[in-house]
Structure 1
Amino acid sequence: MIVNTNRRLTLLFVGVLLVVGAIESPVAQAASLPGVMSGTTVARAIMKYFGKEGAEEATEYLARQGGREIAERVGAAAVREGGQEAAEQVSRLAGKYGPEALAALDNAPELAPLLAALDELPESQVRAALARLSAGTAGRELAQTVSRVGASALRSELKHPGVGGMLARTLGDDGAELATKLTGDQAIAVGRHADDLAALPSAPRQGVLALLRNDTERMVAFMGRFAADNPGKTLFTAATTTIILAESERILGGDEIVFDADGNPIVVSKAGIAGRTMKAGGEALAHVSVNYLQPLLLTAIAFVVTFATLFMLLKLWHAHQREKLLIEGMLREPETIEGSVVEKKAE
């Protein structure tokens, strides 16, 4: 009983604190009465989110962590931009997702477009979207993109965190739509060229985006090859883009863009099917030669050299032994002096 009484007193204290704060705060003084009431409603929704067991945590957030001011600010913006309906949506989000929802909504320069975009998302994606939107400067940039592009920016960011929103921000609706069709690696590859694509005039930019939409795998593969073969070079300049669009079949078929002595881009053809087959066969033979035949050959050469060296050493040793025996025989050969045989003594 004592515990329950203390909880009721705590909740009552928080409610009084909210009302007094709403009257005294500069934000509330500048706002209309509906805005003040909405801020209080949002604060109550936050308390509902924490529940009776979290009354102390709710008090901490609202009274000491700036939660009350955020609730007032978001509530007033909701009433101002979308009326009572928007205020009720804010309260629902706050009651279901708590402080993270308020942080996300407070991070948005415009509340109405963001609320509309969140309303378009499946419920299973709303929490993740709020988490992305509440992430400081990155969340604010995403909210700005959502205000301009709509819910597709949120969907693209949720599919490719950190990349999808950037594509939507840089390339608008086209970037958001494209991001939802790309794999993670493809989105990263396209993202590296997003600023260059955005700088192109509308017609060539749309041409490149059409290639990316209609033949994604081969186009992204070409972009990767170009980046690997031409480090530091910009792919989507006016000159290279003109060639890409004019020779798209050749380029997507495997031909490459290189630069002549004057730095002008040109398309060069690769070998035909037979040439590619011969090249592949040559590469296979080279691989076998380098990895298998050469080590065997070197081993055989080492064996032959070692054997020949040992053979020569053996021959020299035998020759030395024969010479030694001959010398010893000569030293032992007897001499005849005046008809007498005298053995020769070794000196």
Structure 2
Amino acid sequence: MDDRPASRVETTAAFIRGRIASRALARGARLPSVRELAAKLDVSKSTVVEAYDRLAAEGVVVARRGSGFFVAGAGRPLTLSAADPPPEPAIDPSWINRHAMTGAPDFLCPGAGWLPDSWVLDLGVQRAMRLAARADFARRRQYDEPLGHAPLRRLFSVRLAERGVMADFDQIVVTDSCSQALDLACRFLLSPNDTVVVDDPCYFNFHSLLRANRVTVVTVPMTPDGPDVAALERVFAEHRPRLYLTTGGLHNPTGATPAAATVHRVLRLAEEHDVLILEDDTFADFEAEPSTRLAALDGFRRVVQVGSATKAVGAALRCGYIAARQSWIPQIVDLKLATTMGNSA
């Protein structure tokens, strides 16, 4: 005896009737397969079969041997008032990137870190750029050394030390941007099918970058004091990730600053579970007082840090860095040369 609840069959049939009435399924349209609709509505396949048979008996759909079920009947002419609203565009990290670059001047870009023009002009940036343009033209026509301009790497070393991060200038690779630094670091650290943990929420472009590297992404909740360490411990134990990709200092997009105790705990968990850490310190220039960095506590044993030199002066002035353990630098440089040859002089 069939003991399936009649309501499930009726609900399934009503779902199809509703799709037809709203013109989501037009005359002659093929209905979802039995397996597909069963999965969508979380019902058994036999429930879907019975619902389709009932609709066929009512003349709402017709069965075609070997092809499935199709919407029957001429139906009323479709009017604009009856039509479904246009579908929303698929919004993903790539969509956000495209629109951030092509939007109107007043287009809001939360998390982009672009300063108002009035702020930048007051900082003397134009004067500094004019001075740079008058620098040794002959030198600027040539490729710089593979690691990047040595005086700039020394400056990065000094700036990192101000945040408690000790990195010799030959542990630092200059990149065209922090985005390139992230890309090179991911290429170096990851292989396809690795698992990577990111914060939720996180910088939206992390997802695009990780998708390009063909890895599995797992998220951990973000709190005002940093990542939820209890959740992070569970994720590390369950998924055994290769990498934790996070932000140092000011978190993007929440603006949260990690508590020192949280940073200590995150690093301890990474050591216990043998997880590498990629720390994005792009917004360091906007932090009033430096908070504790993962790279500062770790000493570049398992942490790689990337950052930007130009967030405070303008998004179009592209310059970033990678700081890592000394033994990794030659391989990172090889990746940089393979993809860009060198930096702008």
Determine if the TM-score, normalized by the shorter chain, exceeds 0.5.
Answer: no
More helix by share: 1
TM-score (norm: length of structure 2): 0.23
